[in-house]
Amino acid sequence: MNYVKNRIWALLLVTVLCLSTLTACSQAGNGDVNKEKNVAVNNAAKKTEVVAAVSSEPSAGWNPITGYGQRYDPILQSTLTKAYGGEIQMDLATDASVSDDGKTWTIKIRDDAYYSNGAKVLASDVAFTYEAVRDNGTSLDLSNVEKAEATDDVTVVFHMKEPDYTFLYVTYKVGIVPEAYYSDNYGEAPIGSGPYKMVQWEKGQQAVWEYNEYYYGKEPEIKRVVLLFMNDDAAFMAVQRGDADLAYVNQNLATQTVDGYRMVNVESIDNYGIIFPTLLKQGELAEDGQVIGNDVTGDVAIRRALSVGLDRQALIDQVFNGLAKPSFSMCDTMPWFNEKTKLDEKNSGAEVAKTILEEAGWKDSDGDGVREKNGVKAEFTLFYTSTNSNRQSMAMAVADQAKKLGILIHPEGAANSDIQKQFYSTPYVFGRGDYTPNEFYLMTSTNSIGCGWSNSGHYSNPKVDEYMRLAMASKSLEDVYKYYKLAQWDGETGASMIGDAPDCWLARADHCYFVREGLNIGEQPIQPHCANGQVVLSNLCDWSWK
């Protein structure tokens, strides 16, 4: 009997233990499930999309061969290198070397790079892209590339016409396209190897990008980007409605406040200034029949007086609401900028400018407030792009200040196409600035005369040309920088405002963005000249939501 009882109690004990274990297991299991559900809910709640309002879209499509991405990171396509802030870093390229004579560049590319359609990126695609860009006549000058050829799937060799140790400074500007999938309508539906692919484009309205799962680099937290194409006013209204997470606006709107957003002002080398015709009018005509030269700005004294006599800070306060920095060249903040060309209280100001004019023979002999020399009044038209409010304000402010120097300027708005028909003889307000010394070369080299917007002023100085030739033939970046600095000013001459003053740079405008609270847009580098807001997307892989 006792044995039976003991067996029963033992069985009951086992049963209770098992039930307890099952209950505990069940509770633990439910806890794990609940934990997984909570994680899923949290992951679902974390945003992976950004809606960005930018002011324009690529007019010729998303095609690097026709110019897309040459002013900012193309994002949809890989580039051989990156150059944020002026320092070259490898991207699609893994290694680059140059021959002793500077005429042959050999670049290795990644073996793990694929396009958004799964096709492998080949060195032959790099060669194809570069030759196509060279032959297509974009603003990027690749004329020194005689031939680009792939020697195997990961090696591309560039044969240069002239030595060029600075070639890497253009390799961040060319997005690579697949030769096998390239056609005339590539820009409508681009295939690239960048971190994002375009899945929708409603022209004039919006474009939608999604993460390219074949991308070889860092996987971004932002998996989807909606670009809204809006002017500044519409972008600001989108922010007020809460329809955009980020919006690019001008400096006037940047002083506003909107609940739920913060203003991010990014320093730039987006230089605003005046491009001068540097020759006197002597009856010479360009191939297109355009008159060359200007009897006022063709005198270096006029150009130099305006360059040193205009009050930059007053212009910044008036035109940009203080959201800009004084500009002295296209090279400010870059390692090849010649610090000696900066203006200070000793070499600038209205009195310095007046002395320059007086010593050059520009005097107000009839008392009408306008100087003259040899019967020529110090008077000229200054064009500005009629659709650009900043350039309009700049032209007006410059004209107002110039009166105090005895120079009469007539601001006139026009379409860029109309300005181009007269810019060999008429000054105009312009914007320029990038991470490459090639920008300085294009604006000041004798070889660039007549090449679109590059050196429209027909500036030519053999000494400046020689320094830039030496820079291109230098085997070290230190020497490259040294010669570009000398091209700006060597103590006697140079293409700077204390020298020949072929252009007058006045302000580096901050790029201004309303950013929704909670959106982290990473550490923004100094941004290049770009008036459409897309430049902020360059580090998109570093963005995240809190």
* pLDDT on residue 532: 67
pLDDT, greater one: 444 or 13: 444
* pLDDT on residue 533: 76
CA atoms within 13 A on the CB side of 17: 6
Query: Model-level pTM?
Result: 0.85
* pLDDT on residue 59: 77
Q: Which amino acid is at 16?
A: V
3-state secondary structure of 286: coil
**101-120: average pLDDT:** 96
pLDDT interval class at 423 (50, 70, 90): very high
**Residue that is written with structure tokens 């679902």 in the block:** 44
CATH number of 271-509: 3.10.105.10
Q: What is the pLDDT of the chain when averaged over all its residues? A: 90
3-state secondary structure of 472: helix
pLDDT interval class at 531 (50, 70, 90): low
* pLDDT on residue 24: 40
**Residue 90 pLDDT more than 50?**
yes
Q: What is the DSSP letter of 397?
A: H
**327-331: average pLDDT:** 93
**Residue 312 pLDDT more than 80?**
yes
**504-531: average pLDDT:** 92
Which is nearest to 272 in space by CA: 310, 233, 232, 300? 310
pLDDT interval class at 70 (50, 70, 90): confident
Distances (CA, A) of 198 to 20, 133, 480, 537: 57, 21, 38, 14
* pLDDT on residue 45: 54
* pLDDT on residue 438: 86
**Residue 285 pLDDT more than 50?**
yes
- Please, is 41 exposed, middle or buried when counting C-beta atoms within 10 Å of its C-beta (0-12, 13-18, 19+)? exposed
CB atoms within 10 A of CB 537: 23
* pLDDT on residue 55: 85
